[in-house]
Amino acid sequence: MLLCSAIFNDLKEQYGALQTRFTAPIPIIQGDVFLGRNGKVDMSNDPDVKERETGIGARLIRKEDDRYLNGKGRYIADMRMTGMLELAFLRSPLAHAKIISQTKPEQSDNRVFLGRDLEGVSGIRAVSGLPGFRPSTQPILADEKVRHVGEPIAACLADSRAKAEDLAEKIDVVFDELPAVHDMTKARDKESPLLHEDWEENSFLESNADINFEAAIAEADVIIKRSFKTARQCMAPIEGRGLIAVWDRNLELLTLYSATQMPHIVRTGLADCLNMDHGQIRVVAPDVGGGFGYKGILLAEEVCACFLAMKLDRPIRWIEDRREHLIAGANCREHSYEITGYAKADGELLAVDCTAIVDSGAYSSYPFSACLEAAQVASILPGPYVMKGFRCKTWSVATNKPPILPFRGVARTGVCFALEVLLDGIARELKITPEAIRARNLVQPEQMPFTNITNKFFDSGDYPEALKRAVAAIDMEGIRAEQKSQTGRTRIGVGLSIFCEQGAHGTSVYHGWGIPMVPGFEQATARLTPDGGLELRVGVHSHGQSLETTLAQIANSEIGIDPEKIKLVHGDTASTPYSTGTWGSRCIVMAGGAVGSACELLGERVRKIAGHLMQADPADIKLEGGMASAGSSTISIEEVARTWYLKPQLLPDDVDPRGLDVVAGYKTTKDTGTFSYACHAVKVEVDMDLGHVRLLDYVIIEDAGTMINPMVVDGQVYGGAAQGIGTALFEEMCFDASGQPLASTLADYHLPLASDLPNIRIEHMETPSPLSRFGQKGIGESGAIGPPAAIANAVNDALSFIGAEVAEVPMTPERVLSAIAQAEFSKTTEGDVA
Amino acid sequence: MKPALFDFAVAQSLSDAQSALLGGQNKLVSGNQSLGPMLNLRLTRPAGLIDISRLPELRNIEEFEDRVRFGAAITHAEIEDGEFPDPTGHWMRDAAANIAYRAVRNRGTIGGSLAHADPAADWVIVMTGLCATAIILGPEDNTPPRSLPMEDFFTGPYSTDLGPDDILAAVDVPIPGQGARWAYWKYTRQVGEFAKASATILIDPAHNRTRIAIGALGRQPALLSNPEAVLDGKQSPIEALSEAIPDQPANALNLHAVALSRALEQIKESKEFSA
């Protein structure tokens, strides 16, 4: 705790004027116990904590809980409109084929539409400005060529989904099948058929980084080389995609209700594809049941439904089913690494060399593009480690699979797996402990803020402390003792991973990627209502982030209105300021900062009116508990609001004519992003006969900076960790050589279940960010980053007595058994040679 | 996906169901836990479904001196919860409690599971392992039902001896003798999955029955020809399985051998049956 504030004070000196509001050290939350400055549990007499009961730092029960937990949410599939038609798509059964002919069933006029029927509609393009990027055009309905199984070919409408599917069955399509590209490591081979015929090779982008590599490796004592792979995953939110498109003749307005994370970006993308003005399009995102990136793209299905709604003047609804999600929806995570670490005998990491391939699928998705993930690999691979040299070459290759999307953690889950498992390999070679090699190479707290080898700006944090706490919390010493007494074919192991999560990075970073969407100032509107309530309007959208609560807490800290009287308006382009939306762990920093700024300005206007009414100096007025008070005089904020709206005769002559309605824009003081970080430690048991991995204990030491609501942070970390465990052990979308997906139901695509998850123990550190308004850091993705690396390290630790190593996730029983068999085989052959 | 159009009728009597089956266009449905997903994926397209889940004849049990007859439409959950007496003490209840997950068990029926004959299903191996018998009604009136031992009832993956007009009406489960022992071990990586490998062991000296069944083979369960050799330790699990299921690839053989080894460990710990 003292450590945190000490760092913070150092930073204050370095940066001068900071945006932060904190003068007191920040309490630390451990588990369910609120520990204060003095480590006291009962904080009822602490004025700082009283203030926090509803404001920043409070463990406030979520405002949205009643709706979500009592079945009162309203999702797309809950919505019906008069005259609505259900939409089903005929989707490609082949991964790669030319379309020779398409024949509609008889009497299907105005019920079956092909690509050629979509007059004036353009395909989806997401072009990156990075040099050498090869753009693709994703057709709305494929009519010349299909490039992955599940690609939409025809749109079929009926008054029920079943009947629409009946229609789809009756369409006759003749294909000329082409060989499919299914293996990313061979996609660029000369023999590989081209997905996009005007390209030279199946690659969206190649990137190269070389920072002092050759010089750095001169003193290397050990060189460790590994190959790693992470499987292609489906993102599997509980609610799939879904939409209703409505044309309103009266308003001449197309309204798209869509389960999306970014309504404003969808609106811009639609305007491009449909060649319409923004003013003719409104996008509404109602309750959204999980997103994780899957709901962060413009869909061909969205464009198609909008066209049909306008063409037929009837509401059109499409609800993605689980089969469509699994075989046709965008995927994520599929990486391949050839990575080499160079170290000195004492464990000093000198350099890392890496060749990475990301399987980007068939098309560049709007707005993130096909290259974001691979380009990110090259820039974030070094993580929180100090090194002298770095070299990385990446390709975003095109294959006959659905497009890949940035999923929770984006490329971090893959690079963390590659680097952290490599580090354990080096440690084993050098016969030092995993914690020693990490402690030796992690950035030290006194180096903060720290610019790493790839020019990433680490804003604050104490990584070695997180490592130390994780090692203690998992009881490393106890596990090592337990291992010594183990015999037989059931073994325990322990593994660590430590990593950072860049969140809320802004203009300079995204301008560098050159994608269609670059975030700038984030805006929020704060509006006092005549009854003293507060309306907040933001352009980001919640798909489970608890923004209705956390943004209300921020407003409460700024302006003293009870969160119960604060209403968040979001998810509607017609009533919110433009925003790139909810992605990149940015909401609590950016929208939170914007709400803070707007409320601060609104507070000034409230003070001015209150000062006039109380005959007090506005500068002396405090806004707390719904009241404006100066000394012994108080007036309710409600009365101030009522005066502005309904009793203007009482206002001062020089009152601000803009009233009690404020729009403010916000940026962090430096837009390189906040760096939250975590250390994961896991204890596993490996059944060497079955290849079964059981998680016995799991600890996460997490530093989210200032926590707006520690319960919400916990929720994010738990949920993310469950998904990370899915990546580590279960989730895999396989394809055969002809590009056919091999899982089409959740019986074959394995999600982590409640019964697969250990009781995860979270401990928080709380080092404020010097860049954000309240010291908060983005935390939404962190949990999903660490598990594959930590669990693989634990499995390899358990199997180290025979020298077996798994190098691919998910660590299925088959992969674990194959690693064991390989190690046992090479032991036998070694024995033979000896 | 949504199913293709089908008719739906609730059978009022067994003969109702029997006459609806004639012609081969219709299918019986009870718990709908396997058929439902296949309908939704349009993998099967019967002209009509005949719901037999509420027929009193299929919801009964009959107790005989040496066996108990379970109506085909009794659900896994009813067996799990002990709503019907378990002739094996608690072996059937334990097996039922680990079928898929509760939502499936609430609707899924023992007869539906056996007639569907998924190679990895619990009742398929457990009923085989317990020496149970299928009770089958043919299309002709007034013909007594025929009985078929489970090992003959299953003829392959998802296939049984049931003719197109036959109804699996019940399953007879023998009451074990005093001192009998039982083990059932299956490997599922996650709760709710079908088994990747499974084995049962029945030792019933009073009836001179010793049986080892191996399940989840991609076809019907295999019975070891000389289970005593494995139980006495004269033959290792892998040796026995190399003989019994030589067609299985090496990895699968190893996995089934592990299942058998775990069942052998389990039977050592098992309690003797007493009526």
CA distance A755 to chain B (A): 7
Contact status of B258 with chain A (Cβ, < 8 Å): yes
- Decide which of 3.90.1210.10, 3.30.70.3290, 3.30.365.10, 3.40.50.720 is the CATH code for A521-666: 3.30.365.10
B166 and B80 assigned to the same domain: yes
Q: Is the separation of the CB atoms in A522 and A579 below 8 Å?
A: yes
Which residue, chain included where needed, has tokens 């465990």?
A725
Which residue, chain included where needed, has tokens 């309504």?
A263
CA distance A156 to chain B (A): 13
B245 and B194 assigned to the same domain: yes
Secondary structure of residue A473 in the 3-state scheme: helix
Residue B187 is predicted with a pLDDT of 98
Number of folded domains that form chain B: 3
Residue B142 is predicted with a pLDDT of 74
Q: Under an 8 A CB cutoff, do A162 and B4 touch?
A: yes
**Cα-Cα-Cα-Cα dihedral sign, residues B79, B81, B82, B83:** negative
pLDDT, tens digit, 9 for 90 and up, residues A618-675? 999 999 999 999 999 999 999 999 999 999 999 999 999 999 999 999 999 999 999 9
In a domain, B2, yes or no: no
- Rounded Cα distance between A133 and A125, Å, is 12
**Cα-Cα-Cα-Cα dihedral sign, residues A629, A633, A638, A643:** negative
Q: What value of ipTM does the predicted structure carry?
A: 0.95
CB pairs below 8 Å between A and B: how many?
Answer: 43
CA distance A388 to chain B (A): 44
B122 and B214 assigned to the same domain: no
Q: Under an 8 A CB cutoff, do A750 and B1 touch?
A: no
- Residue B4 has its nearest CB partner, among A161, A166, A756, at A166
> Across all residues in chain B, what is the average pLDDT?
96
Secondary structure of residue A503 in the 3-state scheme: strand
The strands making up A661-666's β-sheet, listed across from edge to edge, are A566-569, A534-538, A522-528, A661-666
Q: What values do phi and psi take at A251, rounded to 5?
A: -85, -10
Q: How confident is the model at residue A16 (pLDDT cuts 50, 70, 90)?
A: very low
Name the residue among B170, B265, B176, B155 with its Cα closest to residue B221: B155
Range of the domain at B30: 7-51
| Mean pLDDT, residues B168-183 taken together | 98
Which residue, chain included where needed, has tokens 């089969």?
A323
B40 and B69 assigned to the same domain: no
Domain CATH for B125: 3.30.465.10
B62 and B170 assigned to the same domain: yes
Domain CATH for B208: 3.30.390.50
Please check whether the two domains, A331-507+671-833 and A521-666, share a CATH topology. yes
Class of the CATH-defined domain A331-507+671-833? alpha beta
Q: Under an 8 A CB cutoff, do B37 and A745 touch?
A: yes
Q: According to DSSP H, which parts of A103-245 are helical?
A: 161-169, 213-216
Residue A35 is predicted with a pLDDT of 36
> Across all residues in chain A, what is the average pLDDT?
93
Residue from A322, A688, A690 to probe the interface with B (highest B Cβ count within 10 Å): A690
Residue A129 is predicted with a pLDDT of 87
Secondary structure of residue B202 in the 3-state scheme: strand
Judged against a pLDDT cut of 90, whether residue A34 lies above it is answered with no
Domain A236-327 has CATH 3.30.365.10: yes
pLDDT, tens digit, 9 for 90 and up, residues A116-146? 999 999 999 999 888 999 999 999 999 999 9
B157 and B187 assigned to the same domain: no
B126 and B226 assigned to the same domain: no
Residue B24 is predicted with a pLDDT of 87
In a domain, B245, yes or no: yes
Which residue, chain included where needed, has tokens 């805006």?
A523
In a domain, B1, yes or no: no
Q: Under an 8 A CB cutoff, do B190 and A730 touch?
A: yes
Judged against a pLDDT cut of 60, whether residue A502 lies above it is answered with yes
| Mean pLDDT, residues B197-217 taken together | 97
- Residue B189 has its nearest CB partner, among A160, A692, A744, at A692
In a domain, B91, yes or no: yes
Q: How confident is the model at residue A513 (pLDDT cuts 50, 70, 90)?
A: confident
Q: How confident is the model at residue A831 (pLDDT cuts 50, 70, 90)?
A: low
- Rounded Cα distance between A756 and A682, Å, is 14
Judged against a pLDDT cut of 90, whether residue A491 lies above it is answered with yes
**Regarding beta strands A85-91 and A316-319, do their DSSP bridges make them parallel or antiparallel, or are they unpaired?**
parallel
Which residue, chain included where needed, has tokens 């710990």?
B269
- Does an H or E element contain A350, and which? strand A349-359
Domain CATH for B15: 3.30.43.10
Residue A604 is predicted with a pLDDT of 97
Chain B residues in contact with A816 (beta carbon < 8 A): none
Chain B residue nearest residue A323, CA to CA: B1
Judged against a pLDDT cut of 90, whether residue A3 lies above it is answered with no
Q: At what angle do helices A412-430 and A372-380 cross, to 10 degrees?
A: 30
Residue A514 is predicted with a pLDDT of 82
| Mean pLDDT, residues A326-337 taken together | 97
| Mean pLDDT, residues A297-312 taken together | 98
Domain ranges of chain A: 236-327, 331-507+671-833, 521-666
B203 and B264 assigned to the same domain: yes
- Rounded Cα distance between A7 and A705, Å, is 12
Contact status of A756 with chain B (Cβ, < 8 Å): yes
Q: Under an 8 A CB cutoff, do A744 and B190 touch?
A: no
B137 and B221 assigned to the same domain: no
Beta strands in A16-143 (DSSP E): 28-30, 33-35, 85-91, 97-103, 112-114
B63 and B144 assigned to the same domain: yes
B28 and B90 assigned to the same domain: no
**Regarding beta strands A760-765 and A692-703, do their DSSP bridges make them parallel or antiparallel, or are they unpaired?**
parallel
Chain B residue nearest residue A752, CA to CA: B190
User: Within 10 Å of residue A313's Cβ, how many Cβ atoms?
Assistant: 12
Domain boundary among B174, B193, B214: B174
Give the distance from CA A224 to its chain's centroid.
Answer: 31
